[in-house]
Amino acid sequence: MGLGLNKNPNYHQGYYNPRNSEKYVGKELPIYRSGLELKFCQFCDKNDNVLKWASEPFSIPYYDTVKGKNRQYYIDFVVSIKEGEVLKNYLVEVKPYKQTLEPNTKNRKKKSALLYEQIMYKNNCDKWTNAREFAKQRGMEFIIITDKDLA
């Protein structure tokens, strides 16, 4: 159901082959679109507390305030994790930590780079706001995993 994989030479991308395939509940092999997503796939596959997981299993509708139109957001992962005696279900976005922060407007060399970062940040905020509400309505939690979490 996901977007498929269009190889970008600027990123570490591919299909992950789970060793514990009984835990993976996706219809297609998991896709990783960055080295961080690969690390998260490995975490899900190897961690005994992860009971099931999927990569880009569905989309979440959201309103893109930058472009002024309705769009679809493909969540990176859905994970069910046993935390103590409790089963928790998460919608997971994997991003570099820097991309979770509002862009720094000081000491910029290129205005075009700043504008691009501001648009991407605003678009991500739109997606994440809808993902939080989507998860909450389904008894789940939306979380953002960054390079600081996967270090």
Alpha helix stretches (DSSP H) within the chain: 35-46, 111-137
Q: In terms of Cα–Cα distance, which of 94, 2, 134 is closest to 55?
A: 2
- Tokens 């994790």 correspond to 81
Q: How far apart are CA 37 and CA 35, in angstroms?
A: 5
Over the stretch 82-107, which tens digit does the pLDDT of each residue have? Answer: 999 999 999 999 999 999 999 988 87
DSSP state of 108: -
Per-residue pLDDT at 1 exceeds 50:
no
Residue 24's DSSP bridge partners are 53
| Domain architecture of the chain: domains with CATH | 14-145 (3.40.1350.10)
Q: How far is CA 93 from CA 49, 97, 132, in A?
A: 19, 11, 11
Over the stretch 136-151, which tens digit does the pLDDT of each residue have? Answer: 999 999 999 999 999 7
- Would you say the pTM of this structure is higher than 0.95? no
